């Protein structure tokens, strides 16, 4: 498959030691050779693959020197895109890197679309679709655990399992086809319901195993949506700052200081928390604060975890009780803060309202209880199960949805076998399972979906 030559900046914009402009395509090396002069006057079209060369970039039209660079030459197919790839290492900075990119574009390259390098790696058969999606997961990983899951998917751990399941289904379908098309072949064993059931059950079991990891995998990929909620001035902003380990929220003695939802990612024992500090929930006449309170109530409904903060030095109020009612049925950890002050709260009533949920005592002023809180968060959702490094985790929302569809299809096939539906009818559900699993790795997927997926990538990847 042949494409035109693309170019893009592959490093973040801003000041830095170096920046990289990447080219990929049949003309990548020719374009680089046109604008580059090495110290030894070697032509880049003649140098060995996977070598790096020092020199300067010049505008071939007027001979003006543009930049001092190091150029890496990598010839396909042993490259990320399986095409010829050139990486130009120049000085970091908005002006220098843009001048290098514009020079490449003026001399025959086209500006790459978002994710087009990875898209070419997929279209050229270097990686499948699930591995391509893992590239973005790796870039966005916010903890070591999330990165390890993305690395496993990039290495093809999920792909291998999906291909194995599809091959199992394909062999079964081929056997059925032979029975239908060539019934006179006596040496081919007839596929019976008793033979089909264990094969379909095997596929069903493997899909269920993958889906069992989906909640944990999705949390690692997207973060655990965590809301800090309480009435005003009991320490929620201090809690946010303790977890983030810097002053992100305004901490004052004035109730209602937090007017909007503050969002921050936090690494808690390898679990990424998308931590939301909301306006304190209370009745108020302040229009701006009231809007913040309504936002808080909406965020509560969408959260994975609620951190409900109480004040150890205050008696429980009607507002506290209403908050307990608002989070009823959700995953909640109760934090009793300000334990460095004299006790005023009725802990027995707190335990009754908690209804078995974990209660953690803290003094954020003295930095006590934060470790216990982090342990409670990690154990609530993972209970140490992520330590198994050989497990295949499903973290992508698209993959999870397709696995649910595949599970429904294979269960319909099993149901058909159990009630004695003719094999050729059961074959329809088996074929649908095979096709749905193929969408995960890109074996059977519409071009519009491919374009949509890669458009979410950053430019230059």
Interior/surface letters 47-74, b for 16+ CB within 10 angstroms, e for the rest: beeeeebebebbeeeeeeebbebebbbb
Bridge partners of 277? 228, 262
The CATH architecture to which 6-112 belongs is: 2-Layer Sandwich (3.30)
Q: Quick check: 263 and 300 in contact, CB under 8 A?
A: no
- The dihedral sign for the CA sequence 235, 240, 243, 245: negative
Looking at residue 203, its pLDDT comes to 94
Alpha-carbon distance of 288 to 358, in angstroms, equals 33
Residue 164's SS3 state is: helix
147-213+394-442 shares the fold of 6-112: no
Looking at residue 452, its pLDDT comes to 67
The domain defined by 147-213+394-442 carries CATH number 1.20.120.430: yes
Looking at residue 186, its pLDDT comes to 53
Looking at residue 59, its pLDDT comes to 92
Q: What are the extents of the domains in the chain?
A: 6-112, 147-213+394-442, 223-386
- Of 269, 241, 284, the C-alpha closest to 379 is 269
Alpha-carbon distance of 215 to 41, in angstroms, equals 57
Bridge partners of 37? 56
Residue 3's SS3 state is: coil
Could you tell me whether strands 51-58 and 36-38 are parallel, antiparallel, or unpaired per DSSP bridges?
antiparallel
Q: What is the DSSP letter of 70?
A: E
Backbone dihedral angles phi then psi of residue 296, each to the nearest 5 degrees: -60, -45
Looking at residue 314, its pLDDT comes to 87
pTM for the model: 0.68
Q: Quick check: 323 and 230 in contact, CB under 8 A?
A: yes
Q: What is the DSSP letter of 1?
A: -
Bridge partners of 371? none
Looking at residue 296, its pLDDT comes to 59
- The dihedral sign for the CA sequence 37, 38, 44, 50: negative
In order along its 461 residues, the chain shows pLDDT tens digits of 568 999 999 998 888 889 999 999 999 999 999 999 987 667 899 999 999 999 999 999 888 999 999 999 999 999 999 999 999 999 988 899 999 999 999 999 999 998 899 999 998 989 888 888 888 788 777 777 778 778 888 888 889 999 999 999 998 888 787 766 555 555 545 667 788 889 999 999 999 988 987 877 777 777 778 888 877 777 777 777 777 764 433 333 333 333 344 567 777 777 778 877 655 544 444 444 455 556 656 667 778 888 888 988 888 888 888 888 888 888 889 999 889 889 888 899 989 988 888 999 988 888 888 888 888 887 777 664 444 444 577 878 889 999 999 999 999 999 998 998 888 898 999 999 999 999 999 887 667 666 766 776 666 66
Looking at residue 2, its pLDDT comes to 63
Looking at residue 298, its pLDDT comes to 67
Helices of type H across 141-213: 144-154, 157-181, 193-212
Fold of 223-386: Rossmann fold (3.40.50)
The count of residues in the chain is 461
Q: What is the DSSP letter of 142?
A: -
Cβ-proximal residues to 119 (8 Å cutoff; 6+ apart), any chain: 113, 132, 450, 454, 457
Residue 260's SS3 state is: coil
Q: What is the dihedral of CA 278, 282, 283, 285, to 10 degrees?
A: -50
């Amino acid at each position: 498959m042949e494409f035109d030559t693309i170019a893009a900046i592959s490093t973040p914009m801003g000041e830095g030691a170096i920046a990289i402009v990447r080219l990929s395509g049949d003309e990548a090396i020719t374009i680089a050779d046109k604008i580059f002069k090495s110290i030894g006057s070697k032509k880049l079209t003649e140098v060995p693959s996977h070598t790096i060369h020092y020199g300067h970039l010049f505008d071939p039209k007027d001979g003006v020197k543009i930049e001092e660079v190091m150029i890496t030459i990598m010839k396909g197919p042993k490259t990320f895109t399986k095409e010829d790839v050139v990486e130009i290492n120049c000085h970091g900075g908005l002006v220098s890197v843009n001048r290098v990119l514009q020079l490449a574009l003026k001399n025959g390259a086209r500006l790459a679309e978002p994710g087009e390098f990875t898209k070419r790696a997929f279209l050229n058969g270097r990686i499948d679709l699930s591995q391509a999606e893992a590239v973005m997961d790796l870039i966005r990983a916010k903890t070591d655990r999330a990165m390890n899951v993305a690395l496993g998917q990039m290495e093809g751990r999920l792909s291998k399992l999906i291909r194995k399941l599809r091959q199992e289904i394909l062999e079964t379908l081929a056997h059925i086809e032979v029975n239908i098309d060539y019934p006179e072949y006596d040496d081919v064993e007839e596929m019976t319901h008793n033979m089909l059931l264990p094969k379909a059950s095997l596929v069903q079991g493997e899909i269920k195993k993958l889906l069992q990891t989906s909640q944990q995998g999705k949390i690692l990929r997207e973060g655990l949506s965590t809301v800090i909620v309480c009435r005003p001035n009991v320490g929620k902003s201090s809690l946010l700052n303790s977890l983030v380990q810097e002053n992100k929220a305004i901490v004052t003695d004035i109730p209602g200081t937090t007017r909007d939802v503050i969002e921050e990612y936090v690494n808690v024992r390898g679990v990424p928390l998308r931590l939301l500090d909301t306006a304190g929930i209370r009745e108020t006449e302040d229009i701006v604060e009231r809007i913040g309170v309504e936002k808080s109530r909406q965020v509560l409904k969408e959260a994975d975890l609620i951190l409900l903060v109480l004040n150890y030095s205050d008696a429980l109020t009607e507002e506290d009780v209403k908050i307990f009612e608002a989070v009823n049925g959700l995953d909640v950890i109760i934090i009793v803060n300000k334990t460095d002050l004299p006790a005023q709260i009725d802990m027995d009533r707190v335990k009754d309202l908690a209804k078995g949920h974990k209660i953690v005592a803290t003094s954020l002023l003295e930095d006590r209880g934060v470790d216990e809180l982090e342990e409670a968060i990690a154990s609530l959702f993972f209970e140490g199960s992520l330590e198994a490094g050989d497990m295949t985790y499903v973290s992508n929302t698209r993959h999870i949805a397709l696995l649910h569809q595949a599970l429904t299809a294979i269960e319909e096939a099993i149901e058909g076998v159990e009630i004695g539906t003719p094999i050729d009818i059961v074959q329809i559900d088996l074929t649908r399972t095979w096709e749905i699993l193929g969408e995960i790795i890109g074996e059977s997927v519409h071009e519009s979906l491919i374009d949509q997926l890669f458009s979410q990538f950053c430019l230059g990847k």
